[in-house]
Structure 1
């Protein structure tokens, strides 16, 4: 390892490389967060409301970091997957509800993410999107089932870093009004912007990101001794990498796109050509491809982690049952490339289903962190951050459900409403259980 010292700050280049190599679990979560659903929300917000929602973009990165920190703390202090801890601390019914909540959100997302990956690949190469769906399904199955988590982690770190560089580079070929952007840091919600703001935050604070984190840390064999490394992992992936990704996309959209350019994320990329030049278009298009592919890979491992833990199986490829779960999820994602219709409404549905289930996951994590499941409780600041997240995601979930139901109770909106009521009741019941136990203790 090199011991050459950097001129600024006296940092060893070898130690920096070692730190980057040691990091990883939160980068997989960041790869999912920095995906097409978040991109669709950022494009719609920037194109529709200019710079006025910039403060929401900044808030989303901070909120995502807080949720990942809480999930990280639970995983490190228990040294177990979240489903097993829930089953031992709360019971089997609560564990199954958490598994169903997360698997439903991840499963719906998997189909639309595959559609995005296949569509972007078709745009770049000219090969039919359905062919690309089959290709990416095979690549997923072979890569994840064959090489396991470390392959995904390395892929996530490389691709997310490349995507961030590409989108930041697009800022240099797109004119940004710095003064107008600065005014967007002052909190305000223009008329009709509540749903766009909800989508931005919902992409960073999501049930799949919260539930997967304990398993990715177990794959790294991290324990409480790695607390500082895990904290730095969260900060660099969510605040720095995901924050830069979100800022760059939002600023590009707010600067040069109009609402009509964001019918699809691909439409936004193509619109940049005549507006900001071919370089901007290709930087954006390649960045979109990288974001979609990294998200597809990260999202694929979420259901197998949770289901395997609940069934008492191993959560790595040394257990053939877990390996076949990975293959099954990869294969079930292929039909996404055959789904017709505009992608933006489908991306909003991803956020709707995921956001509806997220408050329950946050409540579970807060309950466990303040119970006997962990050796020491979180700080007052961490608890306050978690409670604030619970309130924000609860409001976002209510907004999404109201939006779905406003168009009439169809089978799809009815299913979302029923699911929302179930997890809302479970969240309230969990809060009541915690209050009763606290009163009993005192």
Structure 2
């Protein structure tokens, strides 16, 4: 393979305006990250534990950007989708494991996000959620099947920007305790009320298998090559570090300051959170809060829907845009299957946190896959820099610890609760796959070293 350096790209936009006009792929990931599931997890963290999990919120933006950087690097160096790269260099079995892992995580998320959109739509309009589920599924199918990637990207940029601004403004109308907030930068996992689950949910919003895998496809949809390396870095910096970071930080500070009461921590939902902001933000608090949640959910719904079709199309060697009728059909199936989420029972806030934690369980495997390939000289023209490898190992270690903590909390109820049983079973299977992949890499590295 030709040795092509990515450190000195031949294409270099001359000003910030040129960069801004070409941003996109990481913003689609940011639309998922700055969605209702992250919002629910961050609000729950603040309401349940005050400022104690501030360190996780800050870390989530940094680690989220790191994960996107690794995925971007793999996609630009190989100039193809991650599933095709895995199949060519690791084998078909590992490609299928990655596809199944991602589709399960994103499919479950799509159901709960649709429930969120439908329920919030019902709160705002008074129309039954199941009707809104059908309406939003039709709107999404027509939009994505007709316009494909660009419709999702434009929606992500507009709505995420609006949601971020809305939640930053909210910080200025609540009293933030600076001393207490500073103490929350010391890493601790609070006991009680599912501290590990909430921490896993917060981190899962930024470091998620869906975000890691989709990056290679959105860059291909944009036509990016190795020449766009610097543009890719700028894309990640503006979307994950700045937009997502400000969104999650502002949301958390508001929750820790206003919602940290025993009553709200025990039974937090969207209406309760909005009403608690009323005395500080005025009578319109509930409406603005729900509109922010609504916008976050809508942007995530569209961005998340494209992920399973991308991976399935790559594995089955279909075209990965709506010009291929098979890809379009897969997109429509995912959209309408997700529409069933409107019929789920119960409150969506706890379901959103659970969805993020579930996705985090499958994330270490995806990170190990990316790190393996970035250090395989037969896969990429230049292997990973040491600093990138260190960042990846830290990322894998932290996500693994939080995922193990979450699964450990689920084990005692696995025999009586079907959801816990599914989580534990999935964790066991994907954990074995991760260990197997690590062993495979060690063997390959030893073989190359001996030669």
* Alignment TM class, shorter chain as reference: over 0.9
Q: Of 427, 431, 440, which aligns to 2:434?
A: 427
Matched, 1:217 2:246: no
| Residue of structure 1 equivalent to 2:7 | none
1:260 matched to which residue of 2? 263
Q: 2:10 aligns to what?
A: none
Contact kept, 8 Å, 1:43 with 1:265, in 2: the verdict is no
Aligned equivalent of 2:423? 416
- Listed as ranges, the matches of 1:79-90 within 5 Å are 79-90=79-90
Write out per-residue CA displacement over residues 129-171 of structure 1, whole angstroms, 9 at most, x where no aligned residue.
Answer: 1111111101110010000101110110110000000001111
Question: CA separation in 1, counterparts of 2:187 and 2:406?
Answer: 21
What's the counterpart of residue 396 of structure 2? 390
- Structure 1 segment 235-254 matched on structure 2, within 5 A: 235-254=237-256
Closer/same/farther in 2, CA of residues 27 and 430 from structure 1, 3 Å limit: same
Is the contact between residue 173 and residue 280 of structure 2 (CA under 8 Å) also seen in structure 1? no
Alignment of 1:34-433 (within 5 A): 34-192=34-192, 193-257=195-259, 258-261=261-264, 263-274=268-279, 276-371=281-376, 372-409=378-415, 410-433=417-440
Q: Aligned partners of 1:253 and 1:356: how far apart in 2? A: 26
C-alpha distance in 2 between matches for 1:408 and 1:320 = 41
Partners in 1 of 2:200 and 2:86 — Cα distance? 28
TM-score for both structures, normalised by structure 2:
0.92
Counterpart-to-counterpart distance in 2, 1:345 and 1:289? 17
| CA–CA separation in structure 1 for the residues paired with 2:285 and 2:62 | 28
Once residues 352 and 109 of structure 1 are traced to their aligned partners in structure 2, the CA distance between those partners, rounded to angstroms, is 11
- Provide the aligned C-alpha RMSD in A: 1.5
Residues of 2 paired with 1:246 and 1:352: CA distance? Answer: 16
Q: Residues 345 and 228 of structure 1: is their aligned pair in 2 closer, same or farther, counting only changes over 3 Å?
A: same
Answer yes or no: is the 8 Å Cα contact 1:28–1:152 preserved in 2. Answer: yes
TM-score, normalised relative to structure 1 = 0.94
1:400 CA displacement: 1.9
Q: Match for 2:444 among 429, 432, 437? A: 437
Structure 1 window deviating more from structure 2 (405-414 vs 158-167): it is 405-414
Judge conservation of contact 1:170–1:284 (CA < 8 Å) in 2: no
Cα offset, 1:15, TM superposition:
4.5
CA distance in 1, matches of 2:88, 2:246: 39
In structure 1, distance between residues paired with 2:263 and 2:350: 14
5+ long unaligned stretches in structure 2: 1-13
Deviation at 1:284, TM superposition (A): 2.1
Aligned residue for 1:297, secondary structure, equals helix
**Cα deviations across residues 300-320 of structure 1 (Å, max 9, x unaligned)?**
000000001100001111111
CA distance in 2, matches of 1:420, 1:46: 27
- Cα distance in 2 for partners of 1:72, 1:52 equals 32
1: distance between equivalents of 2:280 and 2:197? 27
Distance 1:135 1:190 in 2: 41
Deviations along 1:269-323, whole A, 9 cap, x unmatched? Answer: 2332245422443332211111111111111000000001100001111111111
Match in the other structure for 1:5: none
Q: Distance in 1 between matches of 2:79 and 2:341?
A: 35
Q: Relative to 1, partners in 2 of residues 1:165 and 1:157: Cα closer, same or farther, differing over 3 Å?
A: same
Q: In structure 1, what is the Cα distance between the partners aligned to 2:262 and 2:130? A: 28
Q: By how many angstroms is 1:259 displaced?
A: 4.6
Q: Which residue of 2 aligns with 1:28?
A: 28
**Deviation, structure 1 residue 210:** 0.4
Q: CA deviation at 1:413?
A: 2.2
